[in-house]
Amino acid sequence: MNKISLFLALVLPLCSMAQKLTLTGSVQGLPDNTSVVLIDLENSSSTLGTTKSKGGNFVLSSKLEAPTILGLMVGDTMKTAVFLGNENVKVSGSVKTKMDDWKFTGSKTQNDFTEFQDLFIPKFEKVNQLGMELQSGMGSDSLSNAMKAQVDDIQENVDRFIKKHPASPVSAMVILSTIGFTEDVALLEKRTNALTKDALATAMGGQLKKALVDARFNAIGSIATDFVQDDTTGKAVTLAQFRGKYVLVDFWASWCGPCRRENVNLVKTFNKYKDKNFTVLGVSLDEEKDRWLAAIEKDGLTWTHVSDLKGWENQVAQKYRITAIPRNLLLGPDGRILGKDLRGKDLDSKLAELLDK
Domain boundaries, the chain: 3-106, 110-215, 228-355
Confidence class of residue 285 from pLDDT cuts 50, 70 and 90?
A: very high
Whether the pLDDT of residue 134 is over 80: the answer is no
pTM attached to this predicted model: 0.67
Q: What is the pLDDT of residue 143?
A: 83
Q: Are 30 and 74 in contact (CB under 8 A)?
A: yes
Q: Which is nearest to 27 in space by CA: 35, 17, 16, 19?
A: 35
Confidence class of residue 137 from pLDDT cuts 50, 70 and 90?
A: low
169-222 tens-digit pLDDT: 999 999 999 988 887 888 999 999 999 999 999 888 999 998 888 888 778 888
Q: Measure the CA–CA gap between 56 and 69, rounded to whole angstroms.
A: 25
Of residues 178 and 11, which shows the higher confidence score? Answer: 178
Q: What is the pLDDT of residue 245?
A: 97
What is residue 97's three-state secondary structure?
Answer: coil
Q: What is the pLDDT of residue 230?
A: 97
289-324 tens-digit pLDDT: 999 999 999 999 999 999 999 999 999 999 998 888
219-272 tens-digit pLDDT: 888 899 999 999 999 999 999 999 999 999 999 999 999 999 999 999 999 999
Average pLDDT over the chain, rounded to whole? 90
Confidence class of residue 142 from pLDDT cuts 50, 70 and 90?
A: confident
Q: What is the pLDDT of residue 138?
A: 58
DSSP sequence for 53-65: -BTTEEEEEE--S
Burial class (CB within 10 angstroms; exposed 0-12, middle 13-18, buried 19+) of 276: middle
Same fold, 3-106 and 228-355: no
Q: Measure the CA–CA gap between 143 and 235, rounded to whole angstroms.
A: 39
Residue 190 CB contacts under 8 Å (≥ 6 apart), including other chains: none
Which CATH fold would you assign to the domain 3-106? Immunoglobulin-like (2.60.40)
Of residues 247 and 135, which shows the higher confidence score? Answer: 247
Over range 150-175, report the average pLDDT.
96
CATH superfamily of 228-355: Glutaredoxin (3.40.30.10)
Q: What is the pLDDT of residue 48?
A: 93
Of residues 189 and 13, which shows the higher confidence score? Answer: 189
Q: Measure the CA–CA gap between 264 and 270, rounded to whole angstroms.
A: 10
Q: How far is CA 135 from CA 120, 132, 181, 242, in A?
A: 22, 5, 17, 30
Q: What is the pLDDT of residue 291?
A: 97
Q: What is the pLDDT of residue 135?
A: 66
Q: Are 354 and 314 in contact (CB under 8 A)?
A: no
Over range 326-346, report the average pLDDT.
93
Q: What is the pLDDT of residue 313?
A: 94
100-113 tens-digit pLDDT: 999 999 999 999 99
Confidence class of residue 357 from pLDDT cuts 50, 70 and 90?
A: low
Over range 269-276, report the average pLDDT.
96
Whether the pLDDT of residue 288 is over 90: the answer is yes
Over range 348-356, report the average pLDDT.
92
How far does the chain reach from its first CA to its final CA, in angstroms? 85
Confidence class of residue 12 from pLDDT cuts 50, 70 and 90?
A: very low
The sign of the dihedral angle between the CA atoms of 237, 238, 243, 247 is positive
Confidence class of residue 158 from pLDDT cuts 50, 70 and 90?
A: very high
User: Which has the minimum average pLDDT: 22-26, 71-75, 144-148, 278-282?
Assistant: 144-148
